[in-house]
Amino acid sequence: MRRFKEKLSGRIFFVLALSSISALALITVFIVAKGAPIFVKVGVRDFVFGMSWAPGHGEFGIFPMIVGTLSVTLGAAVLGVPLGICCSIFLTEFAPSVLKSVFRPAIQLLAGIPSVVYGFWGLIFVVPFIRDRIGGPGLSILAGSVILAIMILPTVIMISEVSILALPRQYKQNALALGLTHWQTIRSVMLPAAKSGIVAAVILGVGRAVGETMAVIMVLGNAVALPKSILDPVRTLTTNIGIEMGYASGEHQQALFATGIVLFILIMILNSAAQFITRRK
Amino acid sequence: MRISPRAGERIVKVLIWAAAMLVMAVLVFIVAYILAKGLHVIDWRFLASAPSNMGRSGGISTTIIGTLMVTVTAVVIAAPLGIGTAFYLAEYTRENFVTKIIRFSAESLAGIPSIVYGLFGLIFFVVYLDMRWSVLSGGLTLALMILPTVIRTSEEAIKAVPYIYREVSFSLGATKWQTIIKAVFPSALRGIANGILLSVGRCIAETAAVILTAGSTLRMPTSLFSPTRTMAVHFYILAREGISMENAYGTAALLIILIFLINVVANTLINRFVAKSR
Amino acid sequence: MRKTSPAISFLTICLVCLVFASSCGRQNADVIVAGSTSVQPYAEILAEEYERLYPGNAVDVQGGGSAAGITAVQSGAADIGMSSRALKDGEKSLWSVEIAKDGLAIVVNPQNPVTDLTLEQIRKIYSAEITDWSEAGGTRAKIHIITREEGSGTRSAFEDLVMAGGRISAGAIVQDSNGTVRQLVSSDKNSIGFISLGLVDGTVKAVSLGGVEASAANIENGAYGLSRPFLFVCLGEPEGRARQFIDFVLSGEGQRVLTHEGLIPRAEGAVK
C-alpha cells in the first residue's frame, strides 16, 4: 500500500508538472503559430521596419510602434533608474531605522497599485501639466515615460537594495578603515561590487516598462505615426495590441500575434541579459 | 574645480535624501489623492448594491463578486499546478539541461506582457473553445499568467528548506512522499503562500488580460460561465469615459486598500518565515 | 496537512476535467450584446427597460467598437452585434436590422472660438492639410486631431461621409470610445474630434456644418448631412431570447425609449 501511495504521489506530481509545462508550451506554440504567417506574407523586414500601420488598407509595418516602445522605455529608464538607485542607497546607507520601516512598505505599496490607477492619475495630472506648461497635446512620450518611471521604481529599488545588502560587511568596513568618506566608499567600493545586481534590477525594471499596457494606453495618445519629439503622441507594441485586439480578424489578427512574438523575443533577450550578468558574478 | 571630500559628502547626502523624499512625495500624492477622493464614497451601500445606469449610480457589488470569482478561479487552477510543478522540479528531478530549460521558460513567461496573455485568452478560450466572455475564460487566462510566478516562488521556497530536514526524515524511515508532506511542505509553506498572495494581488489589479476574456458586463455573475466585470476593469471604464468620477475614485480607493491589506498579510508571513529559518 | 494533499490532487484532476467539459456547450442563457460604443449607452438603457418589463430575461451589453461587435457575432462570442455604420461587403451575409439613426457631430472645446466649419475644412484638418486653427477661423494654435480606432463604426462613418477617400493623418490621436474622445476634447482647448450626436453634452461644443446646426431635427429634414444607421447584427435569423429582445427594441415601446434619449427614429418606424 505504501509503495502504491509512493508511486501514485510521484505520478501526480509528474502529471501536475506536465500539465503546467504543456499549458505554458501551448501559449508559446499558439502565439507563434498564429503570428508566423504574417512574417511569411509580409516579410520580416517589411513587418519590423515598415513605417505604416494601417490594417484597413492592408499595411502592417510596426516600426513606429517599436520606436514608441523604445522611446517610452528609454525615457522611463532615464528618469527612474537614477532615482531608484539613489533610493536604494538611501535605504541601505542613509535611512534611520524608523524611516526605513516606513519607506520599505511604502515602496511595496507603490508596487501594488494597479496600473490603471497610475494611468488615470497620469491622465489627470501629468498630461494637462505637459499640455499647458510644456507643449503639445499632453498625450505624449514624455507623459508615458513619467508614469512608467514611477512604476518601475519599486523593481529597481528593491532588487538593488538586495544586491547592496548582499555585499560582505568587509567591503564597507575596510574602505572606511582606510579613511574613505561614506560617499567615497559607496561610490568606489560598494556600487561597483553590487554592479551586477543593480544592472539586473535595471533590466528587470526595463522589462516591466516594455510590458506595460494599461497605464500607458491612457496617456500616450496612440497615434500610428513615427514620433518626432517627446511631446508627440505615440503607440507602443503593447498598446497596439490592446487597442485593436477586440476587432482584429484574419491578417490583422495575425499581425497582432506577430507583435506578440516580437515582444516575446524582446523579453527573452532582456531576461537572458539579466541572467547572464548575474551569473558572471 | 575640485570638491573637497567633505563638501562632496554633504552634497551627495542632500541629493540622496532629496531623491528619497521625492519618491515618497509622489507615492503619497497618488495614494492620498485617490483615497481623499474615493474613501468617502465607500460605505455599506456602495459595497452591497449593484451598479445601475451604466455605473453612474448604485454601488459596485457585482464587480466585487466578479473580481472574487475570477481571482479564486485563477488561484484554484494555478496553485496546485504551480506548487506541484515546483515540487516535481525540486524533489523528483536532478538539476540538468531539461530543468534549466523549464526554469528559463518560466522566467521568460513571467515577463510576458499581460496583454499578450489577454490576446491568447481571447482567441483561445473565448472564441476557439467557445467559452465566450466568462469568469472561466478570465480565470483561466489569469491562471496562465500567474503560473510562472507561482512555480518560481514555490521552487525557491522549497529549495530554501535545509536539506537536513529531508535527511532526518529519511533516516527516520519516511518515504519520499511522507518527507515532502510532513517535513518540506510545512517549512516551505510560508514562502509558497507569499508567492500565491503576490499573484492574488496581481490578479486583482489586472485589467488588460481580463477585459476581453471575462467581459465587461455589469450584471452579477451567477456561474462560471457568466460574463462579469472586475473592479479594475470597472474603474478603467468609469474613469476613461467620464461616466462617474465619484464611483471611479471609490473603486480605485477600494482596490488600493485591498492590495495594501494583501501586502501586509504577505509581509507578516514572510517576516515570520525569515525569523523561523534563523 | 496529511489529509489535504491527496484531496488537492483529486480536486485538480476534477478541475482539469471541468475545463475540458466546459468547452462542450455554453450554459449561460443571457443574451450577449456587444459592439459599437456609440450604440452601447442606448442598448444599456434598452436592456434595463427590457428587464424591468420582462423580469428574468437578462441582457448583457458590452462595448468594443462596431468591428469588434461584428467579429464577436461571427465568432459566436456575442448573440447580437451593435454597429454604428452600414455593413461592409464582406459582412453582407449577416442578418441586420436598423434600430435608429444617429447623427455624427464634429466637436471642439467650448473655449474654442470656432463655431462653424465646412465639410471641406474638416476634411483638410483631418488629413493635416490645415494644421493651425487660424486657418479655420480660430486663434493661432496647433490643431490636435482626435480620431477613433480603425474598428470604430463612428470612424468608418466619418471616413465615408467626410474624408471621401482621403486618409486621416497618421499623427492623429486615437481614442477607443465616444466617451474618451469627449473627455479629451473637453479638456484640450485646441482639439477637435467626432462623436455620436446623441452623446454631445455641455462639456463639448458641436460645430455647425456650413451654417447648419447639428441637431436631430436637421438630420430628419436632411439639412445636416452627417448621419449613420444604428444596426443590430446577428449571424443568422435571430431566435429565442435574442429575437425577443430585438422585437422589443423595434416595438413602439423600444422606439419611444430611443427617441426619448435623442436618437432619430428609424425610417420604417416601429414594428407592431
Q: What is the pLDDT of residues C199-251, one digit of tens each?
A: 899 999 999 999 999 988 898 888 998 999 999 999 999 988 999 999 999 99
CA distance C75 to chain A (A): 10
Per-residue model confidence (pLDDT) at position B113? 93
pLDDT-derived band of residue B274, with 50, 70 and 90 as boundaries? Answer: low
Q: Is the pLDDT of residue C12 over 70?
A: no
Minimum Cα–Cα distance from C145: chain A residue: A137
Q: Is the pLDDT of residue B1 over 70?
A: no
Q: List, for residues C103-115, the tens digit of each pLDDT value.
A: 999 999 999 999 9
Q: What percent of chain B has pLDDT over 70?
A: 97
| Half-sphere exposure (Cβ direction) of A88: Cα atoms closer than 13 Å | 28
Q: Do residue C9 and residue A16 have CB atoms under 8 angstroms apart?
A: yes
Q: Which residues of C touch A (CB under 8 A)?
A: 5, 9, 12-13, 16, 64-71, 74, 144, 149-151, 167, 169-176, 184, 187-188, 190-191
Number of Cβ pairs closer than 8 Å across A and B?
A: 222
Q: Do residue B6 and residue A181 have CB atoms under 8 angstroms apart?
A: yes
**Chains near B, with 3+ CB pairs < 8 A?**
A, C
pLDDT-derived band of residue C1, with 50, 70 and 90 as boundaries? Answer: very low
CA distance B162 to chain A (A): 20
In chain B, which ranges are E strands?
51-52, 57-58
In B187-231, which ranges are E strands?
none
Average pLDDT over residues C57-86: 91
Per-residue model confidence (pLDDT) at position C17? 56
Domain enclosing residue A213, as ranges: 53-280
Give the SS3 label for residue B265: helix
Give the SS3 label for residue B146: helix
Per-residue model confidence (pLDDT) at position C16? 59
Rounded to the nearest 5 percent, the helix, strand and coil shares of chain A are: 80, 0, 20
| Amino acid (1-letter code) at residue C93 | S
In C109-213, which ranges are E strands?
116-117, 144-148, 173-175, 191-196, 205-206, 208-209
Q: Cell 438630420 sits at which residue?
A: C219
Q: Do residue B54 and residue C177 have CB atoms under 8 angstroms apart?
A: no
Query: Mean pLDDT over all residues of chain A?
Result: 90
CA distance B157 to C63: 43
Query: Mean pLDDT over all residues of chain C?
Result: 87
CA distance A75 to chain C (A): 20
Q: Do residue C23 and residue B53 have CB atoms under 8 angstroms apart?
A: no
Q: Do residue B235 and residue A117 have CB atoms under 8 angstroms apart?
A: yes
Q: Do residue A244 and residue C144 have CB atoms under 8 angstroms apart?
A: no
Q: Cell 470604430 sits at which residue?
A: C152
Tell me the CATH number at A163. Answer: 1.10.3720.10
Per-residue model confidence (pLDDT) at position B273? 56
Q: List, for residues C41-52, the tens digit of each pLDDT value.
A: 899 999 989 989
CA distance A184 to chain B (A): 8
Per-residue model confidence (pLDDT) at position C8? 54
Average pLDDT over residues A205-209: 93
Contact A171, A209 (CB under 8 A): no
CA distance C28 to chain B (A): 6
Q: Is A213 on the interface with C (CB under 8 A)?
A: no
Q: Is the pLDDT of residue B153 over 70?
A: yes
In a domain, A214, yes or no: yes
User: Where in chain B are the domains?
Assistant: 5-41, 44-277
Number of Cβ pairs closer than 8 Å across B and C?
A: 91
| Amino acid (1-letter code) at residue C18 | L
Per-residue model confidence (pLDDT) at position B166? 85
Q: Distance from CA of residue A214 to its chain's centroid?
A: 13
Q: For residue C160, what is the DSSP state?
A: I
Q: Is A154 on the interface with B (CB under 8 A)?
A: no
In a domain, A32, yes or no: no
Q: Is A225 on the interface with C (CB under 8 A)?
A: yes
Q: Do residue C48 and residue B242 have CB atoms under 8 angstroms apart?
A: no
Greater confidence (B29 vs A176) lies with B29
Contact A39, A47 (CB under 8 A): yes
Q: List, for residues A158-167, the tens digit of each pLDDT value.
A: 989 988 888 8
Per-residue model confidence (pLDDT) at position C24? 43
Per-residue model confidence (pLDDT) at position A281? 52
pLDDT-derived band of residue A5, with 50, 70 and 90 as boundaries? Answer: confident
Q: List, for residues A228-276, the tens digit of each pLDDT value.
A: 999 999 999 999 999 998 888 889 999 999 999 999 999 889 888 888 8
Per-residue model confidence (pLDDT) at position C4? 44
Provide the chain B residues 202-231 that lie in CB contact (below 8 A) with chain A: 204-208, 212
Q: Is the pLDDT of residue A60 over 50?
A: yes
Greater confidence (B72 vs A186) lies with B72
Q: Is the pLDDT of residue C2 over 50?
A: no
ipTM of the complex: 0.90
CATH fold of B44-277, please? MetI-like fold (1.10.3720)
CA distance B205 to chain A (A): 5
User: Out of A15, A128, A222, whose CB is closest to C173?
Assistant: A222
Q: Distance from CA of residue B23 to its chain's centroid?
A: 23
Cell of A277: 550578468
Q: Do residue C177 and residue B182 have CB atoms under 8 angstroms apart?
A: no
Q: Is B78 on the interface with C (CB under 8 A)?
A: no
Q: Is the pLDDT of residue C127 over 60?
A: yes
Based on the structure, what is the number of domains in chain A? 1
pTM for the complete prediction? 0.90
Q: Do residue B219 and residue C1 have CB atoms under 8 angstroms apart?
A: no
Per-residue model confidence (pLDDT) at position C213? 92
